[in-house]
Amino acid sequence: MKYAAGFAIVATLVIAGCGGYQAPLIEEHNILIDPSVLGLWEEVPHGDKPPNPDERMLILKYTDTEYLVHYPAGKDGMYFRGYPIKVEGVSCVQVQLIGAADGDIKKEDREYHVILYALSNGELEIRTLNTDLVDKNLQDSAGLRQAFLKHKDNKDLFTNPGKFRRVT
């Protein structure tokens, strides 16, 4: 299974209802995006339920080092900016809410999220940074990085898995 920086992330954030961080873990975005996650994705339903067409996520290349994500599909969609990051060997994606169907999000309300993804057997699994290990109330990047590094080898550093499959 390929674990890399990625981020189909956004969906998991919305599904899990997770609050974000006020500061970025890392602000630089000089790592190239992963083209294998680009495209239209739908949530893998639980049990026998059919896929919900409103639970689709569109991941686009914005620049060579940034994604633009629209989730969920439809009138309540949100827009996210995402970029791959690497923190002492841990590759993930940092995502920031930038807009919604009714317009831009105020700069002070643009929370950050950190996501880990794996692409395997045509499914994209996304997990979010565990706010029980890395407190979401940390106010600055230095404190956030310190907490992240303290738990970087913990198997529970990323939680709340969600799965998506490519829409063909």
What is the structure's pLDDT at 124?
95
pLDDT tens sequence across 45-89: 878 888 777 789 999 999 999 999 998 877 788 999 999 999 999
**Is residue 1 predicted with pLDDT exceeding 60?**
no
For residues 97, 69, 79, 71, the Cα torsion angle rounded to the nearest 10 degrees is -110
**How many CB atoms are closer than 10 A to CB 98?**
16
The strand pairing partners of 92, in sequence order, are 85
Give the model confidence (pLDDT) of 133-164 as tens digits.
999 899 899 999 999 999 999 999 999 999 99
User: Which CA distances in Å does 107 have to 22, 75, 96, 113?
Assistant: 10, 22, 10, 15
pLDDT of residue 166: 95
Please give the structure tokens belonging to residue 125.
């699994």
Q: What confidence score (pLDDT) does residue 50 get?
A: 83
What pLDDT is stored for residue 103 in this prediction?
Answer: 87
Encode pLDDT of 92-131 as tens digits: 999 999 998 888 888 888 899 999 999 999 999 999 999 9
Q: Is 159 exposed, middle or buried (0-12, 13-18, 19+ CB in 10 A)?
A: middle
pTM of the model: 0.84
pLDDT at 64: 98
pLDDT band at residue 19 under the 50/70/90 scheme: low
Amino acid letter, 89: G
The backbone torsions φ and ψ at residue 76, rounded to the nearest 5 degrees and listed phi first, read -100, 15
- What phi, psi does 157 have (nearest 5°)? -60, -35
